[in-house]
A and B are shown apart, each in its own frame.
Chain A
């Protein structure tokens, strides 16, 4: 496996969607390629960091007001919706 091939398959490897033979090739490659090992290690670390960073929630100061507004809209809508809203 070349460096270019490893980069092309990086996401499959990270997502554990790669077959065993290719996984073995990746592991063999990174055993002697320092740069690809860095790309792999930093990518794995980054996925964890980004997952945690992205766990944003509705700000508490807005949450109750949003709930009230949307609940009001929910309770006020017509009984059997005949709206043509495209979803």
Chain B
């Protein structure tokens, strides 16, 4: 869209103009090579597409690691600035998203270390924790599991994970990157990534089951209790 177009569109609410502009740009720039070429040529439309395609995903990863909006925005800004400065040197061995995520992961980690320099790394070689919360809450009604109370429990459970496990979980289970891509983003072997992901899932299930299991127990007439494993 040219400058005159933007000016004319100013009669409409800004949010609507942007939504239309983004949508148009996404359609004409959905090819990754074309997008990279556009960014190298400093094309504003390419930037709009880049922002639309990646900003939320980078923000989500950053938020998952740093745990608050202000730091997530700082990580997003730093990521975009680093990536756009380096786009001329980007070699297309990796997908653009994987490359960006790796930059975002490093920026988020730097911010987190500034905030919490004392966090210790979890033991990834020790025995797996044995599940002890064994109440079956999987059949709780949908509206209960999607309630704001349930969402808060889920958010807190994610936030309580050690950073290394949280990053593996967000990459794989939230963003849907493959194991190989997650390993590349985080900078570990695929084997190590799988171990982190497995431990993250077990820890999340245990934590969440403590709360949801109570809901089952309190709603069951015979007071359903955990069984020993």
Contacts and interface: CB of A to CB of B under 8 A. Distances in A.
Contacts of A43: 201, 205
B84 A41 contact: no
**Chain A interface extent, by class:** 35 or more
Interface stretch (B29-37, B115-123, B130-138): B130-138
Contact of B134 (A10, A39, A54, A60): A39
Interface string A14-38: 1000000000000000000011011
A77 B157 CA distance: 41
Given A54-B60, A87-B82, A42 B137 contact: yes
Interface in B144-177: 145-146, 150-151, 154-155, 158, 169-170, 173-174
A38 B202 contact: no
A11 B15 contact: no
Contacts of A3: 229
A43 B54 CA distance: 29
23 contacts: A7-B128, A35-B227, A35-B229, A37-B136, A39-B134, A39-B205, A41-B138, A42-B136, A45-B138, A54-B64, A58-B55, A58-B73, A58-B76, A67-B55, A70-B47, A71-B44, A73-B80, A75-B44, A75-B47, A81-B86, A81-B89, A87-B83, A87-B103
